[in-house]
Amino acid sequence: SQQGEEDPQALSIQEGENATMNCSYKTSINNLQWYRQNSGRGLVHLILIRSNEREKHSGRLRVTLDTSKKSSSLLITASRAADTASYFCATDGGGGNKLTFGTGTQLKVEL
């Protein structure tokens, strides 16, 4: 089964609004990562947050991590049409193992 599960599966917002996506996982982790995918091809790494961190920022992105709840959220502020993509979380399983990806949230930002 998938280690990470994103919620919601799909999200549609207006340009300028904020978008929040959530990820839940099952086992302990060393780090959690968020990726973006455009047009069903290669993924692009957005941000990595380690298990001893609670919040991390990168530009318009804010990621939080709650290890007690085994959950993370990705916030995109002041969204743009170009943010339209699928967003995936990925976890490492805590033992230096391979990353396991969730099923993704499809974000659509409308003008």
Question: What residues line the site for another protein (CB under 8 A)?
Answer: 2, 30-31, 33, 35, 40-45, 48, 88, 90, 92, 96-104
As measured in angstroms, the least distance from the Cβ of 26 to another protein is: 15
Chain centroid to Cα 32, Å, comes to 9
Our CB check for another protein shows the closer of 18 and 27 to be 27
Our CB check for another protein shows the closer of 30 and 67 to be 30
Our CB check for another protein shows the closer of 59 and 96 to be 96
Helix (H) or strand (E) holding 1: none
What is the Cα–Cα distance from 106 to 61, expressed in whole angstroms?
A: 16
Name residue, tokens 């047009």.
39
As measured in angstroms, the least distance from the Cβ of 16 to another protein is: 27
User: Is residue 102 within 8 Å of 6, Cβ to Cβ?
Assistant: yes
